[in-house]
Structure 1
Amino acid sequence: MMFSHEGFLRSLAQNLTGLEKLHLSHIDISSSIPDTLANLSHLKSLALLDCHLSGKLPFSLSNLRHLFYLGLPRNNISDQIPPSFGNLSQLTTLVLALNQLSGPIPPSFGNLTQLTELSLGSNNFNSSIPPSLFNLVNLRLLNLMDNNWSGTIEFHKFLKLQNLTDLRLSGNKPEVLMGSTSMNNATIVVPKFERLVLRGCNISEFPDFLRSQDSLLVLDLSGNGLHGRVPKWMWNMSTQTLKYLIIPHNFLSGFDRPPSTIPWVNLEFLELASNSLVGEIPPLFCNVSTLSSVGLSDNKLSGVLPQCLGNTNNDLQYLFLGNNNLSGKVSPQICNLTKLSYLDLSSNKLSGMLPQCLGPGLEYLNLANNTFHGILPKRFTTASCDLSMIDVSHNKLQGQLPRSLVNCASLEFLVLSNNQFDDVFPLWLGPLQKLKILAMRHNGFYGVIGQPKKNRHFPELRILDLSYNNFRGKFPAEYIFSGNAIRGITSEQGSYDSYDHYLQCSISITNKGIEIYYPKIQDDLVVIHLSNNKFEGNIPQFIGKLKGLRLLNISNNSFTGCIPLSFGDLTVLESLDLSHNQLSGEIPQQLSQLSFLEKFNVSHNNLTGRIPGGTQLSTFDVTSFEGNPRLCGDPLPKKCENPEGINLPPSTTNPKGSGIEVDWKFALAGLGSGLVVGVVLADVVITRWDEWFIEIVDMLIRLVKRMRRFRNE
């Protein structure tokens, strides 16, 4: 919903002065909070969620003395909280999370003694937590996570808040000092927590006070310095209530005296990824029928997959076991997990053939970096294919691609690289409306990529990697990239190697001379990689229209003709590799204006003329240009020389699009020594015979005759 003017709140405050409740969410007001809201003197509840509000919190809001609920989350409100907010003595709920607030929390907040919920998370507060907050004895929820608090946080102070059930401190820089929180001290009464989030708080040991917790629903200790084994007393904590146990990104090696079954009878989410867990996966994970997600990726687990996985875990939806040392085969019993949606077995030592029952119900399938062989499962049927991501790269899979993949209407990422597939280009995937990545490098794909009888255009394709195959003929760029997805992208420069979560698709691409691993694919990363095939003919002019293109590699093919002048329009291009082809003509001057170009290689072609000057191309060394005998200028040792006394026009391309480019400097280079016209014509780059070329020949003949006559005189 969009309001047409910024004065919406102002006019509302002027006309509805008796209003007691104002709740707006997910609308685009795009203005600051007007002072006139103070006119709503009877207002008891004000909530403006995700309304694109900006500017400061107005002091006038502190005049709303009847207000008991104030919620302004998910906006862009900045600057400091006015100290006068401490006058809102009737407030029971104050939610300012997910804004840009900074500075200290006003000490006057200690006056808000009726508060039961205070949420200030995900802002830019940069001072210490004021002691006055620990006077808010009625607090049930306190969210201070993801800020820039300074100093240390003494955890025992939170224990004074006896009604506190939800405490969130994660993502802060200072160390949380657990101090003397031992339950052996009878003077300490610890609150009965239901949600405890202490992520990234520099905690090195499991807090001892957890022993007494019997009501926890959520325990998040991720990103700390926990090491060694999970203590045995943890198994007795909140056995009837715990649903989420989240301890990834620590240094845990295992479990101290694990029981035969997990004692948390209602556990739904178990996350232990990115630790140092060793040994086999204990079978106790199989015996909790309530588990919906198990995350054990990025550890040092070994052995085979537990055979019991498919026996009792019928509610399991997410299974992440990637980047371990698991071996053996994948049992068909895994298909008994009928609710399984996300399966990650990547980067292990698994082998054998894939169970042909895999497919129905899955949305995310990552089997990369193993030694699976055989064919892909064919059970991707119309009725049940929900797959959005398939990555089977770096295995030994063979044969043809299952044509039933065309039924996966939600498919966005298809990564088949580094296998032994033997098939033609999958034109039949063209109708998939969401396909963004098609990576097929290092396989045995072959043949000419034609155009199908029906109009199928890969409308959302952003990354195409066909390198190291046996494709031949012309590359039909205009067909494959005819959609508006790439042409319409307006890209911001940014990093592509940030780690988010393993639900993201990842891919390896040879970029800037080395193989780059992209663990997270952003929408504005656009790549065409065709190297080491047998493509021929001219480089498609259409590629110059793909405004979002970041990487273009067509090296080690048989492309001929000139470098398209339209490449100068690829303003966000970072890597251009045209090496080891049969390209001719000059390097277009326009390429020197590509300010983001970091990798450039046109070596080993038949290019002629002077290397364009300019800021960008002058930064590349001789290896980017070598192997072109008639190319001259820096950084090559060969210098460019013009015949003395002759004014040479620039290289000329037929304006009518004939594709003919004449290099005048080389065409006239032999005139002074009386070379015949046939030698002169040898330096004219010809891509098509037509009337325009005949006119050029006639002009050259007349020029040669005049110069010879001049010399004889």
Structure 2
Amino acid sequence: ESYLTVGQFPEHLQSTLSTLDISDNRFDGHLPLHFDLILPQLFAFNASSNQFSGNIPLSVGELKHLEKVDLSNNRLSGPVPVGLTQNSPLWYLNLSNNSLEGEPLAVNCNMPKLHWLLLHNNHFVGEFPACLSNSLSLRLIDVSHNDLLGTISSLSVLTQLGAFLVSGNQISGHLPKELCEMQMLQFLDFSNNRFSGNIPPCLHKSLVWKNKIQANSWVPIDFTTKGISRLYQGIPLTLMTGIDFSVNTLVGAIPQAIGELLKLHSLNLSNNHLTGHIPTSFKELNNLESLDLSHNNLTRHIPPEISQMSTLSKFCVAFNNLRGSIPSSTQFSTFSESDFEGNPELCGEPLQRKCSGNDDDDDGRKENPSEKAVEGVFDKPLIFYSFVFISYSLGFWGFIAPLYISTKWRRKYFATIDRWIEHLFYIKFFKLGT
């Protein structure tokens, strides 16, 4: 176990040893090459928080009984041994906070018993490991802060997954629809990537976000809320839930159904291209502590109901296209000017721009549903141009057809034209004469 030991890895160990924990020491140098010969019966290996460097020995992947590996917080480099993730009995793998390279897992990896996978803060490249679809018992995936590309398109419904963290990569494509069926999700962090498309309206299906089922992960989780990265563990971990889709290129409206996530504590949708208005359903989020909608293209006013959310301690809608007066409440009085800046038509405290009567009228104006429906119809190009064509046709033929059919109307029309020409001629002649 840990005794703040200095030096290299101790190689003179009993070959029957099944559990080895040398974490939180100051061991340095390389791990031994022949793990399979030194410790063939090894079941659990924890060498985290040391100063080991070099590659992870290939022999680690040859240990047939190895179920738990923690090499986090070292200086390890190179690839992950293929044998470590192929037909492996592993249920816990933590290689986070190193300088590992290459693809995070073998292309044909197979870890059916895997519960916890922590690979964050490395230099992994390639696509998100599709082979994780075989690990149906997964409770935590953390591959954040690497250089992963591609999409997350072939993901199974991981019914036990409680935390899915992929922030700080270059993953693109739409948010996977399988998220809607993962009913144990507690933390979802897809921030700082290149995701596009709409926010799935079916996210409200998560039982944890709705009913706060007991979390099923005892592993500490790093999650950013209220602009601060926090490490949640123990009791605080069981109490916290959050969604972070910030810094992507998501479009469309914010789904009203998000208002059904009654146990959600943190929601960050900032720095996207979201449009539409702030859903009034947010008023139902009675446990929400942090709401960041800044740097989008949201319009209309801030729903007054949000100002009554007593748990809200962080609220930011800066740099949108919101208008009207900022709702006044004891809760909103705690927010700063920077939380509302960048909305030219927004007024009221804490902004310096004072509200006028026009601002209040504009803010409180109700849209007639029938007018809104008509607007929506004519926003469609095909219907709009069809309407223009029909109107032009009716106007043109409504005037020409009677002249063509009726001789009487035609004579009257041309007689009128002649009188006007004669009248204009006399006016012109009279002016020239004078």
- Per the TM alignment, residue 368 of structure 1 is displaced from its structure 2 partner at its CA by 1.8
State the alpha-carbon separation in 1 of the partners of residues 19 and 94 from structure 2: 16
Residue by residue over 1:299-318, the C-alpha shift from the partner in whole angstroms, topping out at 9 and shown as x without a partner, is 1111221233234x322211
Residue by residue over 1:303-339, the C-alpha shift from the partner in whole angstroms, topping out at 9 and shown as x without a partner, is 221233234x322211110110011222324357843
Change (3 A) 1:293 1:337: farther
- Per the TM alignment, residue 514 of structure 1 is displaced from its structure 2 partner at its CA by 4.0
- Per the TM alignment, residue 294 of structure 1 is displaced from its structure 2 partner at its CA by 1.1
State the alpha-carbon separation in 2 of the partners of residues 416 and 317 from structure 1: 24
Q: 1:651 aligns with which of 364, 367, 374?
A: 364
1:59-208 pair list within 5 angstroms: none
Corresponding residue of 1:325: 75
State the alpha-carbon separation in 2 of the partners of residues 487 and 544 from structure 1: 10
SS, match of residue 138 in structure 2: coil
Corresponding residue of 2:382: none
The residue type paired with residue 271 of structure 1 is D
Change (3 A) 1:544 1:594: same
User: Which structure exhibits the higher relative contact order, with contacts defined as CA atoms closer than 8 Å and separated by 6 or more residues?
Assistant: 2
State the alpha-carbon separation in 2 of the partners of residues 650 and 394 from structure 1: 42
The question of whether the paired residues in 1 share the 8 Å contact of 2:193 and 2:248 is answered with no
Q: 2:107 aligns with which of 353, 356, 364?
A: 356
Correspondence 1:294 to 2:52: no
State the alpha-carbon separation in 2 of the partners of residues 385 and 537 from structure 1: 32
Corresponding residue of 2:5: 252
The residue type paired with residue 374 of structure 1 is G
- Per the TM alignment, residue 267 of structure 1 is displaced from its structure 2 partner at its CA by 2.5
Corresponding residue of 2:191: 441
The residue type paired with residue 512 of structure 1 is K
SS, match of residue 156 in structure 2: helix
State the alpha-carbon separation in 2 of the partners of residues 375 and 603 from structure 1: 34
1:347-496 pair list within 5 angstroms: 347-353=97-103, 354-363=105-114, 364-380=116-132, 385-401=136-152, 403=154, 405-406=155-156, 410-428=160-178, 430-444=180-194, 469=195, 471-472=196-197, 474-477=198-201, 479-489=202-212
Corresponding residue of 2:408: none
Change (3 A) 1:339 1:570: closer
Residue by residue over 1:368-391, the C-alpha shift from the partner in whole angstroms, topping out at 9 and shown as x without a partner, is 221122345554576x75433332
State the alpha-carbon separation in 2 of the partners of residues 255 and 558 from structure 1: 52
- Per the TM alignment, residue 539 of structure 1 is displaced from its structure 2 partner at its CA by 3.3
State the alpha-carbon separation in 2 of the partners of residues 385 and 332 from structure 1: 20
TM-score norm. by structure 2 comes to 0.72
Corresponding residue of 1:5: none
- Worse-superposed segment, 346-355 or 553-562: 553-562
1:565-576 pair list within 5 angstroms: 565-576=280-291
The question of whether the paired residues in 1 share the 8 Å contact of 2:267 and 2:291 is answered with yes
Correspondence 1:261 to 2:261: no
- Per the TM alignment, residue 688 of structure 1 is displaced from its structure 2 partner at its CA by 5.2
Corresponding residue of 2:429: none
- Per the TM alignment, residue 689 of structure 1 is displaced from its structure 2 partner at its CA by 4.9
Change (3 A) 1:359 1:523: farther
SS, match of residue 148 in structure 2: strand
SS, match of residue 635 in structure 1: coil
SS, match of residue 390 in structure 1: strand
- Per the TM alignment, residue 557 of structure 1 is displaced from its structure 2 partner at its CA by 3.5
The question of whether the paired residues in 2 share the 8 Å contact of 1:406 and 1:432 is answered with no
Correspondence 1:632 to 2:347: yes
State the alpha-carbon separation in 2 of the partners of residues 570 and 317 from structure 1: 40
The residue type paired with residue 42 of structure 2 is L
Q: 2:89 aligns with which of 339, 349, 355?
A: 339
Corresponding residue of 2:219: 504
The residue type paired with residue 557 of structure 1 is N
Correspondence 1:275 to 2:28: no
SS, match of residue 96 in structure 2: coil
Residue by residue over 1:416-449, the C-alpha shift from the partner in whole angstroms, topping out at 9 and shown as x without a partner, is 33333344332245444545444333334xxxxx
Change (3 A) 1:619 1:431: closer
SS, match of residue 242 in structure 2: strand
The question of whether the paired residues in 2 share the 8 Å contact of 1:359 and 1:377 is answered with no
State the alpha-carbon separation in 2 of the partners of residues 516 and 566 from structure 1: 28
- Per the TM alignment, residue 393 of structure 1 is displaced from its structure 2 partner at its CA by 2.2
Q: 1:580 aligns with which of 270, 290, 295?
A: 295
The residue type paired with residue 526 of structure 1 is T
Quote the sequence identity (%).
35
Residue by residue over 1:455-503, the C-alpha shift from the partner in whole angstroms, topping out at 9 and shown as x without a partner, is xxxxxxxxxxxxxx3x13x4342x2223544222399xxxx9xxxx9x6
State the alpha-carbon separation in 2 of the partners of residues 344 and 519 from structure 1: 16
State the alpha-carbon separation in 1 of the partners of residues 252 and 8 from structure 2: 63
Q: How many residues align?
A: 370
Q: 2:330 aligns with which of 609, 615, 622?
A: 615
Change (3 A) 1:519 1:442: farther
State the alpha-carbon separation in 2 of the partners of residues 576 and 653 from structure 1: 25
The question of whether the paired residues in 2 share the 8 Å contact of 1:551 and 1:573 is answered with yes
CA RMSD of aligned residues (A): 3.7
- Per the TM alignment, residue 648 of structure 1 is displaced from its structure 2 partner at its CA by 7.8
State the alpha-carbon separation in 1 of the partners of residues 324 and 122 from structure 2: 49
- Worse-superposed segment, 289-298 or 604-613: 604-613
Higher helix share: 2
SS, match of residue 486 in structure 1: helix
Corresponding residue of 1:97: none
Corresponding residue of 1:603: 318
Change (3 A) 1:402 1:628: closer
State the alpha-carbon separation in 2 of the partners of residues 369 and 529 from structure 1: 18
TM superposition outliers: structure 1 runs of 4+ over 6 Å: 647-650
Correspondence 1:513 to 2:227: yes
The residue type paired with residue 275 of structure 1 is N
Which 5+ residue runs of structure 1 have no aligned equivalent? 1-246, 445-468, 661-685, 691-713
Q: 2:279 aligns with which of 564, 576, 587?
A: 564
Change (3 A) 1:541 1:618: same
- Per the TM alignment, residue 352 of structure 1 is displaced from its structure 2 partner at its CA by 2.2
Which 5+ residue runs of structure 2 have no aligned equivalent? 376-434
Change (3 A) 1:303 1:556: closer
The residue type paired with residue 348 of structure 1 is N
State the alpha-carbon separation in 2 of the partners of residues 409 and 600 from structure 1: 32
Change (3 A) 1:284 1:480: same
Residue by residue over 1:115-170, the C-alpha shift from the partner in whole angstroms, topping out at 9 and shown as x without a partner, is xxxxxxxxxxxxxxxxxxxxxxxxxxxxxxxxxxxxxxxxxxxxxxxxxxxxxxxx
Change (3 A) 1:359 1:567: same
Change (3 A) 1:543 1:334: closer
- Per the TM alignment, residue 595 of structure 1 is displaced from its structure 2 partner at its CA by 2.4
Corresponding residue of 2:64: 314
